[in-house]
Structure 1
Amino acid sequence: MSNPAHQQWSLPASALSHQVDSKLFPFQATDELEHFESVLGQVRAVEALEFGVAMPRSGYNAFVMGESGTGRFSYVRRYLSKVAKEKPTPSDWLYVNNFEESREPHAIELPAGKGGEFCRDISNLIDSILAAFPTVFETPSWQQKKNQIDRVFTKRYDKVLDKIEKLALEKGIALYRDSSNIAFTPMFEGKALDEAEFAQRPEVEREQFHADVAVLEEILNTELSSLPLWKRESSNELRKLNEETISLALEPNLTPLAAKYAEFPSVLAYLQAMQANLLKTVVEQLVDEDLSDSLRRKLMEEQYSPNVLVGHAKNGGAPVVFESHPTYENMFGRIEYASDQGTLYTSYRQIRSGALHTANGGYLILEAEKLLSEPFVWEALKRALHSRQLKMESPLIELTRVATVTLTPQDIPLQVKVIVIGSRELYYALQELDPDFQDMFRVLVDFEEDVAFSAQRVMDFAQLIHTRTSEEGMAPLTAAAVKRLTEHSMRLAEHQHRLSANLSELFQVVSEADFIRHKEQAEITQVEHIEQAIKAKQARTGRVSQQIMEDILAGIILIDTEGAAVGKCNGLTVLQAGDSSFGMPARISASVYPGANGIVDIEREVTLGQPIHSKGVMILTGYLGGKYAQQYPLAISASIALEQSYGYVDGDSASLGEVCALISALANAPLQQCFAVTGSINQFGEVQAVGGVNEKIEGFFKLCQKRGLTGEQAVIIPKANVNNLVLSAEVVSAVEQGTFSIYVVETVAQALALLSGEEVGTLDAQGSYAPDTINGRVVARLKAIAEMAADKEE
């Protein structure tokens, strides 16, 4: 590769990587640094999040967009926790019994910390009630009043019976009464007759007796017609007495409670309803001698103890809730059921809160992928945010059509900021498919995949490493280790002037390096530990790449790294296997023959070529037509293939190699096989940047290294990719020593010149190429094919 004409396109070793200046790390170890509480370089995202959190109007919920591992979740949670401490603590919410309609429990709002206090007050009230009853019905005062009511009723009743008894005696009839019956018996000579004696009396006497009894019964019925009224009056008097007694017994306990919660109308309304209901409950339940004390207490708690749905510590700030499993019930709460002899039943005390209840008045963090995968949740969340009401429903029960009595709890006002974290694909899909999304999530917090390199950013990165290692109990890192991590971050970003925002992968390296340090019983993580951790991961995930390399070396996969051939060149590909990606060369071949089929992309014909690859071949066709078919038609048949490729092929990075192979076949110009080439082209023959350039170069370099570096082997890449070069030390060293080269090109002609070692040719004043150039031979070949086609037509 000593051709002077080629030196202008050759890259020096200094351009192959960004050697970070050690002066940017003015410390011995990271434990000397301060903690870093922000997020690395995400200025736009930080400002957007701050705006969304501070904006008080509805609809300004945030969608945090970016790739996993960029620190988006940890920063959002950390920032919200910091902001939430300065916010007022939201109210406690309780559900209480609705004594008029138990299926519609009432909600009570109390200041933070008051909910639990109110529950304790009610619990103490229940204790007092249980201690007071039924003993209040055993006092002499109550017994006297009850006896007086009974005497009034008995006196009325006895007065009627005395009157009837007097009339009966006048007719010689005796009146007998017990607790439940009244009977008339005939008398003779002052003595009551039994049935046998009565049967022996004359018939006239017997008939007279029956007639007299009929009259007496009619009078009795008339006199006792007011008996139900007397009983009702007696019952009312007794009920009134009980209510007065109960009220007097409850007043010492309820009055202080009413005074304590005088500023909360909903609590006062509940206490009044509770007092009214207790008048009935005490008589029906607490006076029942068959009930045990524990059962009495359970019955009281089920009717009167509030159900604290959400409680907060006083002065605890706004809540920050992350719901990792956003099912409908986990989000909106649920109503639990108990079974009694096969029948399901529930009550207000079996209402359970969801994440929205807990986060009400604060912030709720959700993961978009999980949120959208759960049935009913997304639509219900939008309804809640739009209405600002937290309604508890049971859609799953409705779907099962189980005939179960359920509850309709009173709605709770909702004021919450929802922060949804998801990928770019999901964000754009929601924008396109859901018309409500933009109105509900007006703030986009966009986390970039990489950030600009600067001295300040390097220090921020070092402080961030210190923060994470301190939090997780790992040893500090030396400045050299941080420098190596910074260079590795550039490699992940595939840019010499940017750092990767994928902090998760970087911290994984730190964690594995700390493990290696611990095994070696070192006190601090050195640069050698970082190197070992990086290489260990490559080794763990390198089985597939190693197998392919062995197949190439064994001649199973045909790749030449020396000699020259017509219509063949080495392309460069990036293969993905799990979380590992690696570069490998692949032979590109082209054949040309007379015909009118045009250029056939074999990959596309067998449906292995994906759309972007097929687009690259079509652009290639456009370039050839514009370049060579000005005087003669491009009346050829040609085929292009990526040899020994058995999977799907996508991307247009092979189009530069494909056009070079095709021109080689047309001009019968051999291409040097010691080169590998990557790059896409446009219809004007300009070479454009491609992805994965580092892996591609290193893949071909490893093959050449295995076969022996000759100094002629080289890789041709687009000039636009120079800033993306962050190559391994082995490649940089080989280039520095002159045993391997990397060339950059801007046009197809430059690539052809390198690959063929011949003059490509330019148009002269007459618009023709010199016949001894590659372009001249291509035009001559097209002319010959066109004349051949014309002769056949004649």
Structure 2
Amino acid sequence: MKNNLELKWEELKIPYTNTGITFSTTDEIKADESIIDQENALATLEFGLQLGAKGYNMYISGSDQKTIFDYVLGRLKDKATKRNVPPDMCYIYNFENPSTPKVIWMQPGDGIRFKNDMKEFKQFLINELKDRLDTLEAEKKRQKLITELDEKKEEALAELKTYAKDMGFQVKMAEEGLGFIPLTLEGKPLSMDAYEKLDDADKHTIEEVIDQLSEFSEEVLKKVRDIEKLYSQYMDDIDETIVLNEVGYYMKYLKDTYGSYDEVSQYLDDIANDILEDVSIFAGNSNSEGQDIKGLLPWLGNSGVSEKVNHYSINVLVDNGGLKGAPIITSRDLSQGHLVGKIRIDTEVTTSHTDFNQISAGMLHQANGGYLLLYVKDLLDYPGSFDLIRRTLKTGEVNIESMGGGNNTNTIGITPQPIPVDFKVILVGDYEIYHLLTEMDLSFKDLFKINIDFKDTITSGEVAIMNIASQIKSLCNKEDLPPVSCDGILQLVEYSHRLAESQEKMSANLQPIMDLVREASVFAQGTITKDNIIQARRMKMLFKDTLQKNIEEKYAKNIFLVDVMGKKVGQINGLAVYSVGDFSFGRPVRITATTYRGKSGVVDIEGAVGLSGSIHSKGVQIITGFLGNHFAQNYPLSLCGKICFEQSYGGVDGDSASSAELYAILSSLSEVPLRQGIAVTGSINQYGQIQPVGGINDKIEGFYRVCKQKGLTGKQGVMIPDQNKGDLVLDEEVIKAVEQGKFHIYAITSFREGIEVLTGVPAAQVEERVAHKLKIYSVDSPEKLSRLKKQKVKKSK
């Protein structure tokens, strides 16, 4: 059947043939990764990158997120080199409040230099200072003090002995202390037996003298203790003097180098005071037994030199010494610890211990003064991570999270103060996610004031083709792939048109094309040709073909009931698209309609049992609106119609089958049969106009495959909306079948054109029969009903 609605085979493919492209392979052209036909998006991007005010973060949406991401990254690298390098971020020990480490900011590179200098200073305190305290000169000074101390102690003891002798007593030195023995007239010690023979008065006199001697001895011993204390201080002064001299050398260097930082200067003063308060530790006078215990039980802490000088470390949280401009931070790992940093905790038995040296930076610290570029889907893969970024943008501060775990009964921890940061966040994702975020979070638009939407398609033409070729050349250079021939590029362009479902537009998503180039390189012999591209596409289609063949077998065995020949009343083949992963394919679906007198109107059986989506249900309601508007102006619409997608047990949505459903209803009412060899797609409005739908190529090819499998008769085909003509980029086999008259494609604008293609009967005749049937349904009087039934209408041939 040929008519003016039927499309010619030339209309089923990309309309251009002479592109004006003259190169043989991509080796002859220049590599270029610029983006074309996105002028508005690129202008907005440049504008957004210039804005540094708070809230002007950016959300960029588009189908080719990788190309967008890479392009934005390139622009950021160019912008970043023109900006100042942010300062280094360091943590130091807080001598006043050890649980709250201090943050200091230093010029780029100074953080690492300061850390290394302090490391050298620490090694000196641990390994060399004790040796400086043990020099021969220091030992001579200590020995001289010891000798003087012994002499003074001997002098004090001699004084005691002389005083005792004058009192007639001898001083006895014993482990338990000093004793006093009375002397005889001959100057010899009085024996115990002689003492017992003395009378009570003599004994009393001796005891009184001993009491006097004891009091005098206490004064002497106090004098000795004071001398020892004084000389102990002299000994400490020797150590302190050496420490002051040795440490002072380092302190002078450190202050001369870093004294311009007020916080560092104060920190160095704190270290000097800390050292002088515990000089004995550096002299090696700590309790060895206690050190042995702590070596066996490290969770008890360590008060030795190593533990003390650990406070003198510098934790460089962010080192920007190697940057040439502002930082650009990006990652696919967007866990909370990776974003905001961690505080590592060492756990032993029942105690967890950490200090400021265990703090590590997160991406939000590293991005300070620069940019944070992320994929939105990566961010949403980690619950809570988006909230962390949002909170940081609101407060301008990063709170580092503790990463301890377990059921510890005691935690010796730290609480770092929030660190102020300032950076621009750029998110790349889907427009649907952007819409969802703006609906769920009222503050999102205030934080991301710049929204950029890259178009999903680009206008075809020589410029666009050359741009794609240049980008493919860049891919081949980067991944060491063979060059692509000119006919190979055109084959890829055709594939891009297919992805865009347009003869005038190409897909803006270049990733499937790049993947196809990679896959075609497997078959290439020096150059990737058109045939290699076709081979690669066939390989990609193997999985899809397997699924399609499984479905086709069900049609062949009549497991899926579908007719592609003959005519039936109230039955039509609709077209559906199924998606599995990255693949989609079309298949016919039998739609049936029954009608009878009633008040419920057109009822969607899928909707009645909860299998219909809202858009499909809307389409069914439109059918009722059309019937009422078109046929029930002079009498009430009294109709009960049932529409069913046969052998459909999953959800049904979309309105692309609404025109097919209407044709089935009209066929049932008019009792005019519909051609089963013509499948239908297209939505309809309440005025009977046919509207465009998506997935048009898959739908046509899906029905063609079923017809081919059941046997092509030359009378089969598909009826599509006229507006979809420009979306046709069909498989060569289908185009060849149309050229040979084995398959037909009709493009229509109204239901009248469609009903004539499907029935072969003038639309007016079908409408007359429908109107007559609806009049019969509308009457209540038996007499009037009998009269109407006797009226004749034109019968279809």
Relative to the length of structure 2, the TM-score reads: 0.90
Q: Which 10-residue stretch deviates more, 522-531 or 166-175?
A: 166-175
Aligned residues of 1:69 and 1:505 also touching (Cα < 8 A): no
Paired position in structure 2 for 1:18: 14
- Does residue 784 of structure 1 match 2:776? yes
* 1:588-628 residue CA offsets vs partner (Å, 9 max, x unmatched): 11111223332221111222111111111111011101111
Paired position in structure 2 for 1:258: 255
Classify 1:741/1:352 alpha carbon distance in 2 versus 1 (closer, same or farther; 3 Å).
Answer: same
**How far apart are residue 130 of structure 1 and its match?**
4.9
**How far apart are residue 182 of structure 1 and its match?**
3.1
Paired position in structure 2 for 1:589: 592
Classify 1:700/1:340 alpha carbon distance in 2 versus 1 (closer, same or farther; 3 Å).
Answer: closer
Q: 1:408 aligns with which of 396, 411, 415?
A: 415
Helix, strand or coil at the partner of 1:23: coil
How far apart are the structure 2 equivalents of 1:322 and 1:402? Answer: 38
Matches within 5 A, 1:562-581: 562-581=565-584
**How far apart are residue 493 of structure 1 and its match?**
0.8
How far apart are the structure 2 equivalents of 1:375 and 1:226? Answer: 74
How far apart are the structure 2 equivalents of 1:196 and 1:98? Answer: 72
**How far apart are residue 467 of structure 1 and its match?**
0.6
Helix, strand or coil at the partner of 1:188: coil
Paired position in structure 2 for 1:484: 491
**How far apart are residue 397 of structure 1 and its match?**
4.8
Helix, strand or coil at the partner of 1:510: helix
How far apart are the structure 2 equivalents of 1:326 and 1:459? Answer: 37
How far apart are the structure 1 equivalents of 2:192 and 2:24? Answer: 125
- Does residue 473 of structure 1 match 2:480? yes
Classify 1:168/1:633 alpha carbon distance in 2 versus 1 (closer, same or farther; 3 Å).
Answer: same
Matches within 5 A, 1:654-665: 654-665=657-668
Query: What letter matches 2:458 in structure 1?
Result: V
**How far apart are residue 656 of structure 1 and its match?**
0.2
Paired position in structure 1 for 2:313: 305
Q: Which 10-residue stretch deviates more, 428-437 or 677-686?
A: 428-437
Paired position in structure 1 for 2:650: 647
How far apart are the structure 2 equivalents of 1:182 and 1:339? Answer: 54
* 1:96-136 residue CA offsets vs partner (Å, 9 max, x unmatched): 22333332222332222222222222233334445642233
Paired position in structure 1 for 2:206: 209
Classify 1:339/1:644 alpha carbon distance in 2 versus 1 (closer, same or farther; 3 Å).
Answer: closer
How far apart are the structure 2 equivalents of 1:434 and 1:546? Answer: 46
How far apart are the structure 2 equivalents of 1:470 and 1:301? Answer: 53
Helix, strand or coil at the partner of 1:249: helix
Helix, strand or coil at the partner of 1:191: coil
**How far apart are residue 560 of structure 1 and its match?**
1.7
* 1:493-527 residue CA offsets vs partner (Å, 9 max, x unmatched): 1112211122222211111111122xxxx100000
Paired position in structure 1 for 2:375: 367
- Does residue 338 of structure 1 match 2:335? no
* 1:516-547 residue CA offsets vs partner (Å, 9 max, x unmatched): 22xxxx10000001111112211222222212
Paired position in structure 1 for 2:564: 561
Relative to the length of structure 1, the TM-score reads: 0.90
How far apart are the structure 2 equivalents of 1:721 and 1:32? Answer: 37
Paired position in structure 2 for 1:98: 94
* 1:752-774 residue CA offsets vs partner (Å, 9 max, x unmatched): 1111111112xxxxxxxxxxx11
Query: What letter matches 1:525 in structure 2?
Result: I
Aligned residues of 1:174 and 1:187 also touching (Cα < 8 A): yes
Classify 1:316/1:203 alpha carbon distance in 2 versus 1 (closer, same or farther; 3 Å).
Answer: farther
How far apart are the structure 2 equivalents of 1:419 and 1:642? Answer: 46
Paired position in structure 2 for 1:767: none
Query: What letter matches 1:541 in structure 2?
Result: K
How far apart are the structure 1 equivalents of 2:386 and 2:453? Answer: 22
How far apart are the structure 1 equivalents of 2:151 and 2:446? Answer: 79
**How far apart are residue 72 of structure 1 and its match?**
2.6
Matches within 5 A, 1:492-503: 492-503=499-510
Matches within 5 A, 1:261-410: 261-288=258-285, 298-299=306-307, 302-340=310-348, 343-394=351-402, 397=404, 403-410=410-417
Helix, strand or coil at the partner of 1:185: strand
Q: Which 10-residue stretch deviates more, 67-76 or 726-735?
A: 67-76
Q: Which 10-residue stretch deviates more, 101-110 or 213-222?
A: 213-222
* 1:555-576 residue CA offsets vs partner (Å, 9 max, x unmatched): 2222222221111111111112
Aligned residues of 1:679 and 1:687 also touching (Cα < 8 A): yes
* CA RMSD across the alignment: 3.0
Paired position in structure 2 for 1:431: 438
* 1:611-658 residue CA offsets vs partner (Å, 9 max, x unmatched): 111111111011101111122322122211111212111111111011
Q: How many residues align?
A: 773
Identity of aligned residues (%): 32
Paired position in structure 2 for 1:633: 636
How far apart are the structure 2 equivalents of 1:170 and 1:216? Answer: 11
**How far apart are residue 243 of structure 1 and its match?**
2.2
Aligned residues of 2:493 and 2:506 also touching (Cα < 8 A): yes
Q: Which 10-residue stretch deviates more, 417-426 or 346-355?
A: 417-426
Q: Which 10-residue stretch deviates more, 262-271 or 710-719?
A: 262-271
Query: What letter matches 1:79 in structure 2?
Result: R
Q: Which 10-residue stretch deviates more, 204-213 or 639-648?
A: 204-213
Aligned residues of 1:133 and 1:287 also touching (Cα < 8 A): no
- Does residue 599 of structure 1 match 2:602? yes
Aligned residues of 2:779 and 2:785 also touching (Cα < 8 A): no
Matches within 5 A, 1:210-229: 210-221=207-218
Paired position in structure 1 for 2:241: 244
How far apart are the structure 1 equivalents of 2:663 and 2:141? Answer: 116
**How far apart are residue 366 of structure 1 and its match?**
2.7
Helix, strand or coil at the partner of 1:599: strand
Paired position in structure 1 for 2:298: none
Helix, strand or coil at the partner of 2:442: coil
* 1:197-229 residue CA offsets vs partner (Å, 9 max, x unmatched): 644544433333332222333344456667776
Query: What letter matches 2:530 in structure 1?
Result: V
Q: 1:421 aligns with which of 402, 420, 428?
A: 428
**How far apart are residue 746 of structure 1 and its match?**
1.3
Classify 1:390/1:236 alpha carbon distance in 2 versus 1 (closer, same or farther; 3 Å).
Answer: farther
How far apart are the structure 2 equivalents of 1:12 and 1:229? Answer: 120
Query: What letter matches 1:576 in structure 2?
Result: S
* 1:411-470 residue CA offsets vs partner (Å, 9 max, x unmatched): 433122222233323222221222332222222232332222232222111101111121
Query: What letter matches 2:392 in structure 1?
Result: A
Query: What letter matches 1:560 in structure 2?
Result: D
How far apart are the structure 1 equivalents of 2:442 and 2:199? Answer: 105
Query: What letter matches 1:350 in structure 2?
Result: Q
**How far apart are residue 689 of structure 1 and its match?**
0.9
Q: 1:512 aligns with which of 508, 519, 523?
A: 519
Q: Which 10-residue stretch deviates more, 209-218 or 466-475?
A: 209-218
**How far apart are residue 344 of structure 1 and its match?**
2.4
How far apart are the structure 2 equivalents of 1:248 and 1:730? Answer: 94
Gaps of 5+ in 2: 296-301, 787-797
How far apart are the structure 1 equivalents of 2:118 and 2:193? Answer: 69
* 1:718-753 residue CA offsets vs partner (Å, 9 max, x unmatched): 112122111112222222333322111111111111
Query: What letter matches 1:253 in structure 2?
Result: Y
- Does residue 775 of structure 1 match 2:782? no
Aligned residues of 1:69 and 1:503 also touching (Cα < 8 A): no
